[in-house]
Amino acid sequence: MRSTKARRTDRTRTPTGEQFSAYEGAFNYFNEALFSGKLSPLMLNFSRKAQSKGFYCPGAWRRGMKEAAVAELSLNPDVLDRPARDALSTLVHEMCHHWQFCFGKPSRRGYHNKEWATKMIEIGLHPSDTGEPGGNIVGQHMTHYIVDGASFDRSFSAMPQEILLPWTSAGSLESAKKKRQARQKTSYACPICEAKVWGKPGLSILCGECQEPFEEETA
C-alpha cells in the first residue's frame, strides 16, 4: 500500500494539479517581474465567457463569512491554443485590472480607463480596441497588442518553461459541433461545367445542365 505522502505527490501530476500549479506559477512570476510583487493573491479560474479571452471580477470569492472576499481572474480555456506569449498576455492584461482595483481608481464595471491604459503601456501591452496599432486605448471593450522588446515581451522570454500552461482546451462545444458538421458534408463537382454542390458522402447526383454524374472531390 502506498504511503499518504506518495499519494499526495501523485496528485500534483493530475491534469488539474499540473494546470493550476503552472497557472499560479505564471501569476506569481509576472507579479514579481512586472508589478514588483505587490499584487495580492486571488482566485485563478478558467471560464468560457462568451466573446472574452479573460475577465477580472473583484470580491468574487469568500472563505467563510468573516474573512474578506478576494477577486477572481479567469481565462477562457478555448483560446489557450494560441501561442503561449499571446495567451499569457491575457493573464497580464487581467492582472492590470487587479492592480488598478488594489491601488488605483477603476471606472464603471467593464470600462477600461486612462489609468489602466497607462499601466498597460508601462508593462509592455498596448491597449487597443482593434488589437492593432492606432486603435482607441480606452473604452468598454478593449484588447491589446504586445510591444516587441518591452517589459512583458522580455519577461515572457525569460520565464521558466515549467510554468507555461501545459493543457489547452479541445475547443468550445459550438466549435466542436461545427467540425462534426463539416466532416459530415462532401463537395461534389460536375466534370464538364465544374458546377459544385455539397451533400452527405456517397450521393449519386446528375448535373441537370450537362447530364453528367457529379464526382466527389477529395482534399
Q: How far is CA 30 from CA 91, 98, 121, 152, in A?
A: 9, 13, 15, 8
pLDDT (mean) for 19-41: 97
Q: Looking at the structure, do residues 82 and 118 belong to the same domain, yes or no?
A: yes
More confident residue, 189 or 17: 17
Grid cell of 161 as nine digits: 518553461
Residue 158, pLDDT score: 98
pLDDT at 130 over 80: yes
Q: Looking at the structure, do residues 113 and 63 belong to the same domain, yes or no?
A: yes
pLDDT at 202 over 80: no
Q: Looking at the structure, do residues 126 and 189 belong to the same domain, yes or no?
A: no
The residues near 49 (Cβ < 8 Å, ≥ 6 apart) are 55, 74, 76
Nearest to 124 by CA among 156, 165, 78: 156
Instruction: Please name the amino acid found at residue 179.
Output: K
Q: Looking at the structure, do residues 157 and 191 belong to the same domain, yes or no?
A: no
Quote the pTM value. Answer: 0.75
Question: How many domains, the chain?
Answer: 2
Residue 179, pLDDT score: 59
Q: Looking at the structure, do residues 94 and 132 belong to the same domain, yes or no?
A: yes
Q: Looking at the structure, do residues 55 and 103 belong to the same domain, yes or no?
A: yes
Classify residue 189: in a domain, yes or no.
yes
Classify residue 156: in a domain, yes or no.
yes
Q: Looking at the structure, do residues 43 and 83 belong to the same domain, yes or no?
A: yes
Q: How far is CA 167 from CA 6, 22, 75, 211, in A?
A: 23, 10, 13, 53
Classify residue 83: in a domain, yes or no.
yes
Residue 175, pLDDT score: 60
Mean pLDDT lowest for which of 51-60, 92-101, 167-176, 200-209? 167-176
Q: Looking at the structure, do residues 159 and 197 belong to the same domain, yes or no?
A: no
Residue 44, pLDDT score: 98
Q: Looking at the structure, do residues 137 and 55 belong to the same domain, yes or no?
A: yes
Q: Looking at the structure, do residues 112 and 196 belong to the same domain, yes or no?
A: no
Q: Which domain does 200 fall in, by range?
A: 185-216
Classify residue 180: in a domain, yes or no.
no
Residue 24, pLDDT score: 97
Q: Looking at the structure, do residues 158 and 192 belong to the same domain, yes or no?
A: no
Grid cell of 200 as nine digits: 452527405
- The pLDDT confidence band at residue 6, using thresholds 50, 70 and 90, is very low
Check: CB of residue 73 under 8 Å from CB of residue 46.
no
Q: Looking at the structure, do residues 42 and 138 belong to the same domain, yes or no?
A: yes
Residue 177, pLDDT score: 58
